Structure 1
C-alpha cells in the first residue's frame, strides 16, 4: 500500500494494480486514493499479466515468494519480465530481497528460501537487461525486514514482556539486522520509476531501501525499559493486496 500511495500522491502517475478481490477493504482503500484502478486475477496467469501491462509505461513486480515458494517465483519472475518487454513496458522494477545463500558464501546453514528465490531472479533480470536495455529499462528494489515487525505479532522479532520489561529475543549473537520502513519504500520504488527522465542511466542502477537510511538493530544494546536478548501509468503487482 505505501508503494501505491507514493506513486499517486502528486497525481503524476496513475496506477493499475492486481488484486484477487477488488471489493476487499485494502483494495477499496487504494481505489479511494484516486488515479488507481484494479484488475482482478492472479499473477500466475499470462492473460492477466498481458492485460495489466498493456497501455502502461512501467511495472513494479513484487511476488510474494514467502507464500508462493522459490519454484513459482522463479518461473513467474521470468515470464513477467518477458511479457513486459513484449507488451512495450518502458521500465521494469523487480521487488527483491538479499541473495542470502550467495552472500554467505553458499553455506546452506543460512539458506533462506523466500530471500534466495528473489535474489537469484534479481540477478537474472539485471543480466538479461544488459542485452535488452534498448527495449526496456530495468532495476531491482531490495528491501528487508520491516521495522513494523518488531512490534507486530507472529514475527521473528515479536517482543514479550518479562518482569515488566519489553524484551526482544532474537538468536543473532553479535549480528545486526538492517530494518526498513514501509513508508520509505514508496519513495525508492518511485525513484527509478521516473520514466521520463534518464531511462538509460537507471538501467544498471538498483536502489536498496536499506542503504540510504540504514537502521541497524543490534540486539546487544540496552535502553531504559527495553531489554534485548541474544537468543504516467504504472502497473503494479503487490502480493499483499487481496
Structure 2
C-alpha cells in the first residue's frame, strides 16, 4: 500500500546519507523537513532553495527535535560517524523515543552492515545494534536499514591508488558488497512509500558485488593505467588490531553477508555498478585519489 505523501523529517540532511535521502524524497514528491545546526550556513541555504523546510537545532536540543517531529509522517535517523559509542547510543535512542512519543507513523533508522548479534570490538560499529534493539522495543513502526560498505570509502589514497596499486582487506577472489550513497537515498524513499511492506523489517542495502581482483581491474580501467591489487600482508594485519578487525568482518563477520541484488533492484531499479559509479558520481574523488588533479597542476 502506497503512503499518502506527508512530511518526512531527515536528520543529517547536510551530510552524505541524509543529503541523498533528501534528494530522493524531494524527487519523489515528499515534503521534507531537516534539522540543521545553522540555518544560515551554505549547505542549509542550499536545502532551503531545494524546497526543504529547516528547523534549527542540535542533537542535544530535545525541544527542537520534538518540535521538528510535529505533524510528520516519517523520520529518517542517521548519526555522524565521529560520535563516541555512548554518545551515539544516547542520541540514537533519544530520536527513536521522541518518534514514538510524537506518534510518528514510520521511523527509518540507518544502522550499519557490520551490525549483528555478536559485538565486533569496534566501538563505532557496536553502538548501532544497541540502538536497533532499543527501537524494536518501542511502540513505533520502524524499518532498520544496514547499508553495505560505501563506494566512497574505497576511493581513498591511503590504499595506494596514487602509486599504481590498491591494497585492501579482500583476498583476490573474495567478494564483498558495496553501495552507492545515492542508492541509499532512493531505497529509503521507496521504503517510506510502502510502510506495510517494510515496517518492522531490517533491510541490508547493496548496489554491487566485487572481488579484490575485480577492484584492480575496475580501477585500472578508470585510471587508464595498471592498478595492481593485493591484500594486506598477514603480518600487517597481525600488527594492527583495527585492520585485523575489519578483515575479520569481511572474512566471516556481518560484512561477509550478501544480499540479493535482484531484491535491491525491486526496491530501487536504478542501483548502479561500481564501474558506472566511478565514471559518474565517484569520478572526482577517484581522480583526486590517483593524483590526477595534482599531476595536472604540475604540468
Under TM normalisation by the shorter chain, which class is it?
0.7 to 0.9
CA distance, structure 1, for counterparts of residue 154 and residue 197 of structure 2 = 36
Match of 1:206 in 2: 202
Residues 101 and 191 (structure 1 numbering): CA distance in 2 closer, same or farther, change over 3 Å?
A: closer
Match of 2:132 among 101, 122, 125: 122
Match of 2:57 in 1: 41
Aligned residues: 206
1:1-242 alignment runs, 5 A limit: 1-10=19-28, 12-34=29-51, 36-64=52-80, 66-100=81-115, 102=117, 105-106=118-119, 110-126=120-136, 128-129=137-138, 132=139, 136-152=140-156, 158-162=159-163, 165=164, 167-173=165-171, 175-194=174-193, 197=194, 199-210=195-206, 213-218=207-212, 222-223=216-217, 224=220, 225-231=226-232
CA RMSD in angstroms comes to: 2.4
CA distance, structure 2, for counterparts of residue 222 and residue 55 of structure 1 = 49
TM-score (norm 1): 0.75
CA distance, structure 1, for counterparts of residue 175 and residue 121 of structure 2 = 17
Secondary structure of residue in 1 paired with 2:229: strand
TM-score (norm 2): 0.62
CA distance, structure 2, for counterparts of residue 227 and residue 22 of structure 1 = 46
Secondary structure of residue in 1 paired with 2:67: helix
CA distance, structure 1, for counterparts of residue 197 and residue 177 of structure 2 = 27
CA distance, structure 2, for counterparts of residue 9 and residue 221 of structure 1 = 32
Report how far residue 149 of structure 1 moved: 2.5
Instruction: Determine which structure has the larger strand proportion and give its number.
Output: 1
Instruction: Determine which structure has the larger helix proportion and give its number.
Output: 2
